[in-house]
Amino acid sequence: MFHWLEKHPFFFAVGVFVVIAFAGLIEILPNFAKASQPTVGTAPYSTLEIAGRQVYIKNSCNACHSQLIRPFKSETDRYGHYSLSGEYAYDRPFLWGSKRTGPDLMRVGNYRTTDWHENHMWDPQGVVPGSVMPAYRWMFTNLADVDTAYAEQVTVNAVFKVPYNKPIPMKDGSTKTVALADSLAGAHASALEEAKAIAADMKNQAVKDAVAAGQIPEIVALIAYMNSLK
């Protein structure tokens, strides 16, 4: 057999390819299993959450934070269930990250609250003494870019058929329907509705006033995004 292979370089190359590709196959195949593709608990992002995601990307939070929980006890104890491939179905681009200066944020919505984020983004050291995370105070005055968020929502939906306007079963047994507005004005209105609910849990008076006046500071969009990570 080996003698024969040595005399037929083409088949030898095919054999080498199969042997090397096998390891990749072992890693990739489990992702096609049903258990890796949760149909429960993974809802598409709302306009406000996408605006917050864009704030997250703009400020390079992913340079210090991963969004990928590995299946080790130390990680599942700290963060919750390890990440499943299907949970990234609506992440474009994915924000796995390659470095953890800070903790993983994949399920941060389960154990941090709006007011915790508000205090932490304003003054990380005030909440976690010794933290090396920088403060992001400009987010309390900069306004979120809802136009671009809506543009992303519409274009991505046109290509990938995201299940907007459809009830998605959630982990607690309820269903969640994420609306895709049919106009820019509609997107602004629904983002503002969502922003009001978040601002109600915040203390910063300038942010509350801005939202009451129909504006959406970046911090509100960012917190909406943080809260959606579950």
Residue 52: what residue type?
G
24, HSE (Cβ side, Cα atoms, 13 Å) = 5
- 52 counts as binding ligand HEC under rule CB under 6 A: no
d(CA 128, CA 132): 9
Hey, which residues between 192 and 221 contact ligand HEC (CB under 6 A)? none
56 touching ligand HEC, by CB under 6 A: yes
Nearest approach, Cβ of residue 218 and ligand HEC (Å): 9
Say if residues 191 and 216 touch (Cβ distance below 8 Å). yes
199 neighbors 207 (Cβ within 8 angstroms): yes
What the block records as the tokens of 50 is 């996408």
Do residues 47 and 153 lie in contact, with contact meaning Cβ atoms separated by under 8 Å? yes
Is position 140 an interface residue for ligand HEC (rule: CB under 6 A)?
no
Nearest approach in angstroms of CB 159 to ligand HEC is 27
What is the smallest separation between the CB atom of 139 and ligand HEC, expressed in angstroms? 7
The single-letter code of the amino acid at 143 is L
Closest to ligand HEC by CB, 145 or 164:
145
Q: How far is the CB of 203 from ligand HEC (least distance, A)?
A: 17
57 forms part of the interface with ligand HEC (CB under 6 A): no
Tokens 């005055």 map to which residue?
A: 141
Rounded CA separation 23/132 (Å) = 39
Q: Which is nearer to ligand HEC, 181 or 194 (CB)?
A: 194
Q: Give the binding range for ligand HEC (CB under 6 A) out of 14-22, 57-65, 146-154, 159-167.
A: 57-65
**Distance between CA 121 and CA 53 in Å, rounded?**
15
Shortest distance (Å) from residue 98 CB to ligand HEC: 13
Is 105 one of the binding residues for ligand HEC (CB under 6 A)?
Answer: yes
Residues 89, 79: Cα–Cα separation, whole Å? 20
**Residue 230 interacts with ligand HEC (CB under 6 A)?**
no
Task: Name the residues that contact ligand HEC, by CB under 6 A.
Answer: 56, 59-61, 63-65, 101-103, 105, 108, 112, 117, 124, 128, 131-133, 136, 222, 226
